[in-house]
Structure 1
């Protein structure tokens, strides 16, 4: 009898523990988890070929993943997870330099302006729900005009 009660108790404990992980309260909001740099269309539109690294850093911010072996390529990763158990969606925007000048950009960025507060924040959250970064094969901007007006 003691063995049967111990086995029964072990089965109850095991099923109780597994039930906790699959139980969900109905109607509970799960926050989307964002990590990395949010690169927006507005930021990308400010980039021009020939910009210095300092100017690009001002527009896009510091790269979170600096490459110690290649300082001429900056990667801006961004990932989103819908809720606590949702699928992780990853994006990457990359800028390339030669002789400390911007020569090429490529990758994914979010449409619209950078999220701030109020109406802009609400629109950004709507964009997040749509999950539509703009994929680009080559988002290289046009060249920066020379100061004298000649290209």
Structure 2
């Protein structure tokens, strides 16, 4: 009799754990943005020959500065919308002699990028 009661308890626990394991997708996960959120309007303010300080003012502090090459700054942004999809954006800014020379990444280069600010 006690054996049947123990078996029934274990069987109930096993069935409940199987059913409840299917509910793991119901757990609320907070969407946490990571990195530098940039918009095209921010990128449109960049001009060739800007100083590092001017780029910092426009874009903010980069996520990563290349440890072996100080002429590159990396701006990355990741936003997990749900488990299957995420939004990723990146921008790399290149300097020569502490002056901006190029930008590459997921944004369009501004139409008047090659026109310096002082002209």
Q: What band does the TM-score fall into relative to the shorter chain? A: 0.7 to 0.9
Deviation of 1:67 (Å): 2.0
What TM-score does the superposition give when structure 1 sets the normalisation length? 0.62
Q: Are 1:10 and 2:13 matched, yes or no?
A: yes
Q: Give ranges in structure 2 of 5+ residues lacking alignment.
A: none
- Structure having the higher Rg: 2
Cα RMSD of the aligned pairs, angstroms, is 2.7
Of 89, 92, 97, the match for 2:87: 89
Per-residue deviation, residues 104-140 of structure 1 (Å, max 9, x unmatched)? 001124xxxxxxxxxxxxxxxxxxxxxxxxxx4xx26
Runs of 4+ in 1 over 3 A off after TM superposition: 30-33
Q: Is the 8 A contact 1:31 1:82 kept in 2?
A: no
Cross-structure match for 2:41: 42
Q: Is the 8 A contact 1:79 1:89 kept in 2?
A: yes
Per-residue deviation, residues 50-87 of structure 1 (Å, max 9, x unmatched)? 1111111111111022222211101100112224x341
When structure 1 is superposed on structure 2, of 4-13 and 54-63 the one drifting more is 4-13
Aligned pair count reads 114
Per-residue deviation, residues 10-44 of structure 1 (Å, max 9, x unmatched)? 313422430331347xxx9x865422112122211
Cross-structure match for 1:74: 73
When structure 1 is superposed on structure 2, of 9-18 and 97-106 the one drifting more is 9-18
Cross-structure match for 1:128: none
In the alignment, the residues of structure 1 paired with residue 78 and residue 48 of structure 2 have an alpha-carbon distance, to the nearest angstrom, of 27
Q: Give ranges in structure 1 of 5+ residues lacking alignment.
A: 110-135
